[in-house]
Amino acid sequence: NAGVTQTPKFQVLKTGQSMTLQCAQDMNHEYMSWYRQDPGMGLRLIHYSVGAGITDQGEVPNGYNVSRSTTEDFPLRLLSAAPSQTSVYFCASSYSLGTVYEQYFGPGTRLTVT
């Protein structure tokens, strides 16, 4: 199993450009999430999905869109990149055991917006 894969690993955008960060998992997990990680702030939830066709907003959703057409894929779209979106982005998949979510993270995408 490849686990959770993310592409690209690095990306530089100019302000106003759009792009899609790709995320795929092969563990048949119901739940998938996108986080951003900034220095000293841990990981903050952007959007999440509890199954194909179902998505919801997390803590910091503004400027990002998601869709979940299949169980395996959960792309994150930046509509019009801003310097404040410079960050490291992590995708995660998980299964639920009641209130316990054991998350498996991808290797991350480091995004710089100039």
Partner 1 sequence: TQLLEQSPQFLSIQEGENLTVYCNSSSVFSSLQWYRQEPGEGPVLLVTVVTGGEVKKLKRLTFQFGDARKDSSLHITAAQTGDTGLYLCAGVKNAGNMLTFGGGTRLMVKP
Which residues make up the interface to partner 1 (CB under 8 A)?
4, 31, 33, 35, 40-45, 48, 58-59, 90, 92, 98-108
Q: Which is nearer to partner 1, 85 or 106 (CB)?
A: 106
Cα angle 51-57-62, degrees, rounded to a multiple of 5: 140
Helix (H, G, I), strand (E, B) or coil at 2: coil
On whether the CB atoms of residues 35 and 44 are closer than 8 A, the answer is: yes
On whether the CB atoms of residues 85 and 63 are closer than 8 A, the answer is: yes
Q: Which is nearer to partner 1, 19 or 101 (CB)?
A: 101
Q: Which is nearer to partner 1, 16 or 56 (CB)?
A: 56
Q: Which is nearer to partner 1, 1 or 42 (CB)?
A: 42
To the nearest whole angstrom, how small is the minimum distance from the Cβ of residue 18 to partner 1? 24
User: Is cis: bond before 75, omega within 30 of 0?
Assistant: no
On whether the CB atoms of residues 91 and 6 are closer than 8 A, the answer is: yes
To the nearest whole angstrom, how small is the minimum distance from the Cβ of residue 43 to partner 1? 4
How many Cβ atoms sit within 10 Å of the Cβ of residue 90? Answer: 22
To the nearest whole angstrom, how small is the minimum distance from the Cβ of residue 15 to partner 1? 26
To the nearest whole angstrom, how small is the minimum distance from the Cβ of residue 108 to partner 1? 6
